[in-house]
Structures are given as C-alpha cells and as structure tokens.
Amino acid sequence: MIRGGLRLAVLIVRRTFSLDRTSSMAASISFFAILSFLPFMLLAASVLGHVLASSETALKDVLAFIAQNFPGAAAASLETFKNTSHSETVYGFIAALGLLWAGSKVFDVTEYAMNKIWRCRRGRTFWASKLIAFVCIPTMMIFVLVSILLTSIMRAVQHGQIPFLQMSIIEVPVIGAVISFLAPVLISTLLFTWIFYLLPNRWGHLRSSFYGALLAALLWEAAKLLFDYYVRNFEQAFTVYGSFTSAILLFLWVYYSAFVFLIGAEFGSLLQAVRERQLRIEAEKETSG
C-alpha cells in the first residue's frame, strides 16, 4: 500500500515537472484568468446587485468571496468596485463582453491542458470546442454566484446565536471548522469534477475525475489558510513592490491555484490509467483462460 502510494507520487512528480510541463500550462491559465478576474467580479457584483436589490450588499458579498478565495486581492478589488459602483449597469455590460473574450481564452488553454493531462489522442473540432465553451462559461459563472451567496449565508449563520449556550455558531470549535472548511471544499470539488470530466475529449472517467477534484480542492483550501497566514504575518516582505503589492499577491495566488488545479487533474489521470490497465489485465486473463 505504502509502496504503491510512493510510486504514484513519483509518477505524479515526473508527469507534472517533466512530461507535461504543468507549471508552464498553469502560467498560461493564470495569465488569462487574471485578465478575466476584473470583468468576472464586476459582472458578479452587477448581477447580485439586481438579485439582492442592493448594490452595497452585493459589494460586501463579492468582497467577502474575494477575501476568502483570493487572499491579498480584497484591497485592490474594493477600490475598483468603489470607482465603478455608480454605473453598475454600464459596467455590467462591459464586464460581460470582457468576460466573454477572456473567459474563452481561459477555456481554450484549460481544454488544451486537460486533453494533454488526460492523454486524449486528439482534441475536439472547432465548433464542438466552442459549444462546450458556451456551456462552460455560464455554468462556471453560476458556480461562483452560488459560492458568493453561500459565503454571505455562512457569514450570517456563523454569527447566529445558539439557544442555551449564549454563543455564536462560529465559537463552537467543531461546527465552526466544518462550516468554514468543508463547505468550500464541497463546492470546489463539484466544480473541479465537472471540469475534469467535461473538458477532456474522452468519457468514462467520472470516478477518477472526482478523486482528482477532491485532492485539488483539499490542497486549494489548505493553501488558502497558509497563504492568508503568510500575507497577514509577513506582509512587509512585499513592501518592495510598493503600490503593486496587491497585484503581485493576486498573480502569485492565481498561478498557485492553477498549478494545484492541474495537479489534481494529473492525479485523476493517473488513477484512470491504473484502472484501465487493471481492466486490460483482467480482460487478457479471461481471454487466455
């Protein structure tokens, strides 16, 4: 068991840093993801402003989501939203156009990475690829909007009083940890599973996609805690960048997120390869027997 786990870890490292050059693919994904970050969040604020009938409430929810998922980027985002909140309809339209362009580029490089990692022999045709993108981009937007709403709901629930105990839910150690850690892990796992299964040009790997997505979600949530701790306690290390500090932190975090995301895909792909190899061996035994 231990030997098999070590061998799997060695294979992941070999594929990540040698065969697939995952770090380079993560850089490509993070570049276009950063370009789509601002229009994505502006559109989210605009949509939530109409849904909640309050742009101020929507702004707080979006900033809470950014602070939770993009450590170090909340300060720069707050200034941007303040400058654009007075024209949310206009900026919502502009953001939708920007998101359509940048989001399609994110999808293109992510689809290429998924096909390479999952060992697909060929990619989709141009129109099939665009059709998948047309489905993926709105669905990812829905995932993020749901995540933002859940962040707002969890914030309200965590500060609710428990009868007879005279304390908030967040003050109860076990319940607080479950709400603040497991809920984001569940959302991330569902999103990553959907991406790992849908983007590669192959089928029949749902279970492997789930395990890879679960690993990526756990690593991502753990990294958020460590990154947030590092930013809060060692922020002076970034003072050399001056006013660009928030941008540098955002770049680092998005790149790391893309890298962890691809490691999860590598793990799922290896599990699928092992499973297919076992099925071939069993089929050969049945044929020879």
pLDDT, tens only, 222-280: 887 777 777 777 666 666 666 677 777 778 888 988 999 999 999 999 999 888 888 88
Q: Tens of pLDDT along 102-157?
A: 777 888 899 999 999 998 888 788 888 878 877 777 777 677 667 666 666 666 66
In a domain, 244, yes or no: yes
pLDDT, mean of residues 168-173: 59
In a domain, 230, yes or no: yes
Q: Are 250 and 186 in contact (CB under 8 A)?
A: no
pLDDT at residue number 75: 54
- Which residue, 184, 177, 91, 97, is CA-closest to 143? 184
In DSSP terms, which residues pair with 161 in a beta bridge?
168
Q: Tens of pLDDT along 193-212?
A: 999 999 998 888 899 999 99
- pLDDT category at 76 given cuts 50, 70, 90 is low
pLDDT at residue number 157: 60
Domain range for residue 177? 20-288
Contacts of 129 (CB under 8 A, 6+ apart): 108, 111, 123
In a domain, 6, yes or no: no
In a domain, 12, yes or no: no
In a domain, 231, yes or no: yes
Query: pTM for the complete prediction?
Result: 0.77
Number of domains in the chain: 1
Q: Is 87 a residue whose pLDDT tops 90?
A: no
In a domain, 8, yes or no: no
pLDDT at residue number 215: 94
pLDDT, mean of residues 207-222: 92
In a domain, 7, yes or no: no
DSSP per-residue codes, 128-160: HHHHHHHHHHHHHHHHHHHHHHHHHHHHHHHTS
Give the residue carrying structure tokens 């060692």.
234
In a domain, 276, yes or no: yes
More confident residue, 234 or 182: 182
- pLDDT category at 170 given cuts 50, 70, 90 is low
Cα angle for residues 69, 71, 77 (degrees, 5° grid)? 90
Distances (CA, A) of 71 to 74, 138, 143, 234, 252: 7, 25, 19, 13, 10
Whole-number Å distance between alpha carbons of 221 and 68: 10
Q: Are 217 and 245 in contact (CB under 8 A)?
A: no
Q: Tens of pLDDT along 27-59?
A: 999 988 887 776 766 666 666 555 554 556 656
pLDDT at residue number 147: 67
